[in-house]
Amino acid sequence: MKKWNLIVDVERCHNSNNCFLSVADEYMDNEHPGYTTAMPKHGHHWINILRNERGQAPMVDVAYVPTMCNHCDDAPCMAAATGDAITKRPDGLVIIDPDKAKGQKQIVDACPYGAVWWNEEKEVPQAWIFDAHLLDRGWKEPRPVQACPTGALKSIQVEDAEIQKMVEEQNLEVLHPEHGTKPRVYYKNLNLYSKCFVGGSVIADIDGVEECIERAVVLLSKDGHKVAETWSDAYGDFKIDDLEPDSGAYEIEVSHPDHPSKYVEVTLGESTYVGTVKL
């Protein structure tokens, strides 16, 4: 049986919010009987874009991570619901029945992702239903996927074995795997949000003038073992990414055939720009 999955490429998300707006347009003031009641005008973010700013000036980047109901295969919200209020469809989608879930606020608390929103007026828990009502009418993809101008969202309906192959081949990750809920929303390039970088700029005196040094070899080590190696670019800048936050002390060796090497110690809490390294 082919099931729906969503792949979010963090590198492609530019925070345009078009996914959020398409959901607001589809559900605000619109009833979809059997699927969901209307979304309230304020307070709900069925697609919620997280943001992480990394580094210090002049080396700063920002990653955006759209989050939503993960349509988990082992969904704690289902376990917390009573009277079949939540259904796992054969196509993988998790639907909170707007009538049966009335008054069941415990469903909101049961979701470890905070993906369920409480509709105070209607007294129902609500989450993004992957536009199941449209897919059931023959739509090929949900509206947020259509609306994203950078192609950061991709929906695919495939056998589980195929998505597992993609997970391995493309290094896809899920948010908080420690929850053990088997999400159907996968992330590409999540390291841009969840991991750290260390960067710097290499310069040297050449004929009495401070110049950027290109192609300096930058070696990052921890406890005497090589962690990563890179080169400075045309502006002398280097950046080594995908490091664990709060991972402690590292040593950076910067070398270039025309200059003496330089060593810099850095303790990584969050992403760090070590400044200029003068050879």
Binding site for ligand SF4 (CB under 6 A): 69-72, 75-77, 94, 111, 113, 115-116, 127, 181
> In this structure, how many other beta carbons lie within 10 angstroms of the beta carbon of residue 135?
18
Spatial contact of 182 and 60, defined as CB atoms under 8 Å apart: no
Structure tokens at 196: 């750290």
User: Which CB, 89 or 259, lies closer to ligand SF4?
Assistant: 89
CB proximity list for 272: less than 8 A, separation 6 or greater: 55, 56, 196, 197, 198, 199, 266
Task: Give the shortest CB-232-to-ligand SF4 separation in angstroms.
Answer: 43
Spatial contact of 254 and 218, defined as CB atoms under 8 Å apart: yes
Task: Give the shortest CB-101-to-ligand SF4 separation in angstroms.
Answer: 11
User: Which CB, 87 or 255, lies closer to ligand SF4?
Assistant: 87
Phi, psi (deg, nearest 5) at residue 237: -85, 145
How many whole angstroms separate alpha carbon 69 and alpha carbon 128?
6
Task: Give the shortest CB-132-to-ligand SF4 separation in angstroms.
Answer: 13
Task: Give the shortest CB-116-to-ligand SF4 separation in angstroms.
Answer: 5
User: Which CB, 87 or 230, lies closer to ligand SF4?
Assistant: 87
User: Which CB, 69 or 252, lies closer to ligand SF4?
Assistant: 69
Structure tokens at 187: 């992330």
Upstream peptide bond of 58 is cis (omega within 30 degrees of 0): yes
User: Which CB, 40 or 76, lies closer to ligand SF4?
Assistant: 76
How many whole angstroms separate alpha carbon 276 and alpha carbon 233?
13
User: Which CB, 111 or 243, lies closer to ligand SF4?
Assistant: 111
Task: Give the shortest CB-110-to-ligand SF4 separation in angstroms.
Answer: 7
Spatial contact of 19 and 144, defined as CB atoms under 8 Å apart: yes
User: Which CB, 50 or 62, lies closer to ligand SF4?
Assistant: 50
How many whole angstroms separate alpha carbon 114 and alpha carbon 67?
9
Spatial contact of 247 and 270, defined as CB atoms under 8 Å apart: no
Task: Give the shortest CB-128-to-ligand SF4 separation in angstroms.
Answer: 9
How many whole angstroms separate alpha carbon 117 and alpha carbon 43?
9
Query: Which among 276, 270, 194 is positioned nearest to 238, based on CA atoms?
Result: 276
Task: Give the shortest CB-91-to-ligand SF4 separation in angstroms.
Answer: 14
> In this structure, how many other beta carbons lie within 10 angstroms of the beta carbon of residue 172?
20
